[in-house]
Every structure is written in C-alpha cells, then in structure tokens.
Chains A and B, each alone.
Chain A
Amino acid sequence: MSAASPLLAVDRLTVTFGKGTQAVTAVRGVSFALSPGRTLCLVGESGSGKSVSAMAILGLLPPRSAHVEADRIALEGSSLLGLSSAQFSKIRGGVVSMIFQDPMTSLNPALTVGFQIVEAIRLHERLSNRAARARAIEMLERVRIPDATRRFRSYPHQMSGGMRQRVMIAMALACRPKVLIADEPTTALDVTVQAQILSLMDELKREFNTAVLLITHDLGVVAEMADEVAVMYAGRIVEQGPVSEIFDRPAHGYTLGLLSARPENDSGTAGRLNEIPGSVPRLSQLPKGCTFAPRCVHAIAQCTEAEPPVVEVSRGHLSACIRYGSLPRPQAHRRLEQANA
C-alpha cells in the first residue's frame, strides 16, 4: 500500500440504518485507499457490509434511512462527504463508475443498449450525438461485443448475460473514469463467461490505468484480480494487506476459515468441504469482543472480552485479531500460481 496520495481515500466510514433503538450499524470504521492501476478486493460473506460501503462512497444510499459518517472520503484530494446530489451526479459515471452484480436487471429493459451508453457519455462530456454514438460503438468493440454496430440497436433482453455485463462495463468505462467500483460483477454469470469478463476488466484496467474496487465473495476471483485484499466481517475490515500476504500468511481467524473452506484444498480426495461453523451474527445483536470469536476455532477467552485493535502484522498487512501470531498457516495452498495458470 504505497499510497503517497491515493486516488480514493476512505477513512473510518460508518453507515447506520434506522434511528434510535432500531438503529443498525452495517459498516463500522472501514478505511481503505485506492491507487491508479491497482485493484483492491473487498471480500466477505453476504451482509458483511461490502456493497453498503461502496454505495455509501458514491452517495447511492437512500438519505432517508441511511446515515453515512466518515472522517474522510476523498477523491483526488477533494471530499465527497456532504456533496449535493447535483455535485454527486457529475462525479458518478465521470470520475467514479460502478458495475453491478446482476446484468439482467441493471440495464433498462425499455431502452436500447446503445441509447443507454450514449446517455452515459453525454451526461459527462459535451459531445454531439453522433460523436457519442461513435464512442459508444467503439466501447462496445472494446468490450468485444461482436457486430457492435448492430448490437448498438439491441435491447437488453436480446442479449445473453455475459454480453449484458460487457455492455455494463462499456457503459461504466465510456467516460474513462479514474475509479471503477465493481460490485460482484461476475456472480450472476456462469464460470466460462466469468473468466472472460474478469480478464476483460483486468485488461481495461491496465489500459486506462483505472483504480478498481472489486467486491466479491469468491476467493478464486480475488487470487486472480487483486493487488490488495480487505476482508470484511460484520461491517468491519478484519484483515487487510497485499494479496500474497493474505493468501500465504493470513493473520485473522476469519480469513483462515475462508481460505480453508475453498474446495481446492481437498487435494483430490472427495469429501466434505471445510466450513466455518455458525452464521454471520445479526448486526443488531453483535457479540461482545471480536465479532467473529463465537465462530472461530482459534478463539480463546480473551477474544470475547474486548474488540481487538487493528495491528500491523507486517508492512502494509493489518489485522484485527489478537491471535494473529499463533494461527496456523493455511494447508495445501496451491493458491496463486494455480489460479493464475
């Protein structure tokens, strides 16, 4: 995490839904930074606050129910906190773009994909309709949509899931944003298409030098895409660091649990997958101390006493686990080389 001046810096982001006794804190003190050309993966189970964090940064949460607080959310040095919706509109899609999980529902069924991309371009750049159209077709070719000129006039329902996600990527990158937030962009796609989309994203990231925040629960995706990894649990980042560190020397019981739950650990032997016992606690009833302690096989009595502080395990590798020193190494980690092969 070299970040002399990160492109996007988030410090102690907290998101609360509801008011008074009904209030539920979905994200608690999340901090991270994005730099150009680098990918940060936000990993965690459903309900761990990954998407909410991303939406909060872009101001996409409903202001009526969500209360967003942070010490700092800065894009290229200027704060995003408390921007008016008009100011946010300029940033969204222009400087920061977002790709959503489900390409089936993220495109408007009543409009042609071409119209939607042209609209995205013309919202941010003063281009003639014709120039925007040319750019849109160029973007469709960039994301390798065959016969882009004809596809320009297609409606979303005339395309397959993979093509629609390509269209979403084309739309998100049409204005050359500096930051791309991808919220589980491949979860709804089948595996072969998934690999195509990921490698396309990686390629475009290099080409445009985009900073990518990739939200996922798939560690295979993380191994393939990430430079940095932040692991979230119950609204908090429990471990953060360079991808090799996280995979080789996980310093949190939860990360270790996730790594050993991967199917490829059962080197050839059919059998039950390792699992993390229990389920994510309800955000309204978080356990005392480390929120993961009740499910952690490495937990000791001390874990349930106080919320563990974040410590720097090694350079750039942060962990909120008091037992980071005595955790075992993940077994049979034929991880990165294999995933990248």
Chain B
Amino acid sequence: MTVVSEERRATDPGERRAWWAGLFARPATLISVSILIVFFLIAALGSFFVGDHLAISSLRRMRPPSATAWFGTDHLGRDIFARTVIGSRNSLIVGASVAGLAVTIGSLLGLYAGYFRYGERAIMRVMDGLMAIPGVLLAISLAALLGSGLVTVIIAILVPEIPRMTRLVRGVVLTLKEQPYVTAAVSIGTTTPKILFKHILPNSVGVLTVQGTYVCASAIMTESVLSFLGVGTPPDIPSWGNIMASGRQYFQIAPWIIGFPGLFLSILVLSINIFGDALRDSLDPRLKRRGGL
C-alpha cells in the first residue's frame, strides 16, 4: 500500500502571503488603510505638534484658513486645525472601544444563545426590545441619565449595537454548531467550553472582524451626532461633533468651522468602511473579486 497517489498541496507561508496580497489587491484598500494609519498617528501624536486648542482670542474670531491657522478659527478664535486634530483622538477612542466591546459582549451573548438555547428566548427578546428603540434616542436618554462624558458616550452608543452583534453571532453559531466538525469534536470528548471557544469562535472571526469595522464606523458617526446635539462629549473636550455644532450658526459666513471636521469625519468613516469591505471580500471566498472599488 502506497500513498504516493495522494496529491500534495502547497502549504503554509506562501498561502498567507497570498492572502495579504489579495487583501491589498485593490488600490482603494491600500489607500484606506494608509489613511487609517495616518489618522491613528494624528490621534496619538497630534497633541505634540498643534498649538493650544483651547486658547481663546477675541481678536482672531472666525478667520478663514490661512498660513497661521490652517483650517481657520471658530467664533471664539480657537484654532480649528488644533481642535480637529485633538478631536480625532476622541473619535478613534469611541470607535475602537465601541467596536471592541460590542464584539466581545455580542459574541458572548450570541455564543450562549446560539449554542445552549436554554436562556435563548429571554436573551433574544431583550435584544429585540433594545432593537426596537431608536439608537440615537436611547443614547440621548442614557447621556441624560448618566451625565455627559466619554464613558457615557461609549455606553450610550454601545447599548444599541449589542443586539445587532448578538443576533449576528447567534445566527453564525446556529449554523456552525451543526457542522460535522463540531459533532466530530464532541465525539472525541471535547468539553463544551472548548467547543465554543476553540472550534466555533475561531470560525466566526471573519464575520466578527467585518462587522466590527462597520460598528466602529457607525459608532464614530453616532458620537459626532450626539456631540452635535449637545449630549455627547462635553464641550471642554473637542470632538468633531461639538466642533461642528459650534459652527452650525455661522455656517454661511464661516463654513470652515463645520467643513474641516466634517471632511475628516467623512474620510475616516469612508476608509473604515472600505477596509471592512476589503476584509469581508478576502475572508469570504464566495465574494472574492466581484469587481467594485
């Protein structure tokens, strides 16, 4: 008996490299990832390079963009460039923490509801209930209840995201747990926690990563909306939302106050979404290279 007849297939390192190459095959992906890296650097190091974002100057109110104030100044004479740069930190922290927490909590609840199914009904009905409440409204009431602050903003945005994540993970778990390899793992005596965290969770990582990027983008948007409405980040911490809010009244005479933070917001959210799409395409082979960007 020989085994020569069995074909050999290409292994390890080449394949991983091919995956990365596939991920960055589209120029749009490369650009979006570069933009994300730049934003990360701005948020991390920006405060060392910009002037005082709180300095008020009644002499330099609502100046248009110039060599001294690149993005102009607002109605209190504060430098929009400094405020936008500092504000990016706020957006990225909110985006990353909401995405991280939503993925973590959502996958725990989803794993539980999908695999055990004992408390499933209770969990899913609570989730349905949360879903029925408009996200921004819930965020406003939570902010009103807990007072404004970064943590409040994160919780307020996180709560409406959890049901979506939970439902998604539960759906994935429901299909994965019927897979023969899960039965096979059970049949060799694998314990339930290991089934959940070593067999089912790694197979949902693709979906979780992709959904995580979308949650991140939408959390950044929601944070801006909340700050714009005045229930988000407190005014002493600049955020793109409250910078735009402060420029709302002067939109016609000083459009740069709203324009620059808005532009940054759009570029950041767009980049995250493009990156999410690219991840989705390369993690899901069925969608591979169907054109698009």
* Contact of B181 with A92 in the complex, beta carbons under 8 Å: no
User: A105–B181 contact, CB under 8 A?
Assistant: yes
Binds B, one of A158-166, A227-235, A276-284, A329-337: A158-166
Contact with B along A184-199 (1 / 0, CB 8 A): 0000000011001001
Contacts of A119 in B (CB 8 A): 190, 194, 198
Task: Report whether B1 and A200 are in contact in the complex, using a CB–CB cutoff of 8 Å.
Answer: yes
Q: Are A144 and B3 in contact (CB under 8 A)?
A: yes
- Residue interface bits B1-30, CB-to-A below 8 A is 1, else 0: 101011111111001000000000000000
In the complex, how many residues of chain A place their beta carbon closer than 8 angstroms to a beta carbon of chain B? 47
Q: For the complex, is B292 an interface residue (Cβ under 8 Å from A)?
A: no
- Known A-B contacts A91-B189, A111-B202; A98 and B184 likewise in contact (beta carbons under 8 Å): yes
Report A-chain residues with C-beta under 8 Å of the C-beta of B198: 111, 119
On whether the beta carbons of B1 and A199 are closer than 8 Å, the reply is yes
Number of B residues near A (Cβ < 8 Å) is 31
Which residues of A sit under 8 angstroms from B5, Cβ to Cβ? Answer: 192-193
| Nearest CB on A from B42, distance (A) | 35
Closest to A121 in B: B188
**Assembly CA distance A105 to B12 (angstroms):** 20
Q: Does A123 belong to the interface (CB within 8 Å)?
A: yes
Closest residue of A by beta carbon distance from B10: A158
Q: Which residues of B contact A144 (CB under 8 A)?
A: 1, 3
User: If the complex has contacts A100-B180, A109-B181, A196-B1, are A154 and B187 also in contact, measured as CB distance less than 8 A?
Assistant: no
Q: Judging by beta carbons under 8 Å apart, are B188 and A85 in contact?
A: no
- A124 touching B189 by the CB < 8 A rule? yes
Complex Cα–Cα for A163 and B3 (A): 9
Asked if A123 contacts B189 (CB within 8 A), the reply is yes
**How far does the alpha carbon of A20 sit from the alpha carbon of B199 in the complex, in Å?**
35
| Distance of A45 Cα from B194 Cα, bound (Å) | 35
Contact partner of B189 (CB less than 8 A), chosen from A94, A101, A145, is A94
Complexed CA–CA distance, A102 and B183 (Å): 12
* Neighbour of B187 across the interface among A58, A105, A108, CB < 8 A: A58
Give every chain A residue within 8 A of B10 (Cβ-Cβ).
158
Query: Chain A residues near B185 (CB, 8 Å)?
Result: 108, 116
Find out whether the CB atom of A172 lies under 8 angstroms from the CB atom of B188.
yes
Q: Does B44 contact A (CB under 8 A)?
A: no
Is B191 part of the contact surface with A, judged by Cβ < 8 Å? yes
In angstroms, Cα B182 to Cα A100, docked, is 11
User: Given A102-B180, A108-B181, A119-B198, are A154 and B11 neighbors across the interface (CB < 8 Å)?
Assistant: yes
Q: In the complex, what distance in Å separates the CA atom of A93 from the CA atom of B194?
A: 15
Alpha-carbon gap, A192 to B179, bound state (A)? 27
Query: Roughly how many angstroms separate A67 CA and B202 CA in the complex, as a whole number?
Result: 32
Q: In the complex, what residues of B have CB within 8 A of residue A82's CB? A: none
B249 at the interface (CB under 8 A from A): no
Which residues in window 210-235 of A have CB below 8 A to B?
A: none
Q: A105-B179, A111-B199, A199-B1 are known contacts. Are A123 and B6 too (CB-CB below 8 A)?
A: no
19 A–B contacts, CB within 8 A, in A order: A60-B183, A60-B187, A86-B191, A89-B189, A92-B186, A98-B188, A100-B187, A105-B180, A106-B180, A106-B184, A109-B181, A110-B199, A123-B189, A145-B3, A146-B8, A153-B12, A160-B7, A168-B184, A199-B1
Q: Beyond A93-B187, A119-B194, list 6 extra A-B contacts (CB 8 Å).
A: A98-B184, A100-B180, A106-B181, A124-B189, A163-B6, A172-B188
Residues of chain A at the chain B interface (Cβ within 8 Å): 58, 60, 85-86, 88-94, 97-98, 100-102, 105-111, 116, 119-120, 123-124, 144-146, 150, 153-154, 158-160, 162-163, 168, 171-172, 192-193, 196, 199-200
